[in-house]
Amino acid sequence: MSSKKSATAKKAQRATARKATERKAAAQQATTRPEAGAAAKATGAAAADAAPTGPRPTRLTVAAVLAAAEGVVLLGFGVYVLIMGLTGDPESPQQAEMLGVTVVALALLPLLAARGLWLRRRWSRGPAMITQLMALPVAWTLVQNGGGLIAGGVATAIAALAVMALLINPTATEALGIGPRDA
């Protein structure tokens, strides 16, 4: 009777060892076959960029709204400059029109980043942070020019620093799927 038990135990051990060897070979094959590795990476990237479940953290919502507000203000300024370049009397209409088109194009970055943050896409944090870093020198320039531009510069700086602080918060990074992963 004990010989039957030991034979059964040996078969189970061999089956377990065979399965482990097969898993190891499959993993090794995925790393040596580029198309299998690429397919696994694409599937992993799609799963990582999928919208997480659960409620959106307030910090992420506020960051998305602030980034969208910055984009809307930039878009409005770009349209204003473009219209004034076309209908006004600037020194150089071509430069005014080009500035307007450039500002409208630049407004797309914070707007796209805000949409990505709202939808909790992990890629959106980078463009949002870059936008805020670009806003700080603009805010400094506005403050240095004085007059009514001081208020705009201070508001720009506060908004940029607030969005950066909100996006580096662990709650926001976890909601975007960024940060330490369970192995």
The token pair at 9 is 């135990």
pLDDT at 5 over 70: no
What's the whole-number average pLDDT of the chain? 82
pLDDT digits (tens, 9 = 90+) for 6-38: 666 666 666 666 665 666 655 565 555 545 444
Nearest-angstrom CA–CA distance, 177 and 175: 5
Residue 13 makes CB contacts below 8 A (sequence gap 6+) with none
Nearest-angstrom CA–CA distance, 70 and 103: 12
Select the more confidently predicted residue: 96 or 53.
Answer: 96
The predicted model scores a pTM of 0.68
DSSP state of 33: S
pLDDT digits (tens, 9 = 90+) for 47-83: 555 556 678 899 999 999 999 999 999 999 999 999 9
Structure confidence at residue 90 (pLDDT): 87
Q: What percent of the chain has pLDDT over 90?
A: 57
pLDDT at 116 over 90: yes
Answer yes or no: are the C-beta atoms of 127 and 104 closer than 8 Å: no
The token pair at 148 is 């009514």
Residue 63 makes CB contacts below 8 A (sequence gap 6+) with 117, 128, 162, 163, 166, 167, 172
Give the start-to-end residue ranges of the domains of the chain. 58-175
**Least-confidence region, from 36-45, 114-123, 134-143:** 36-45
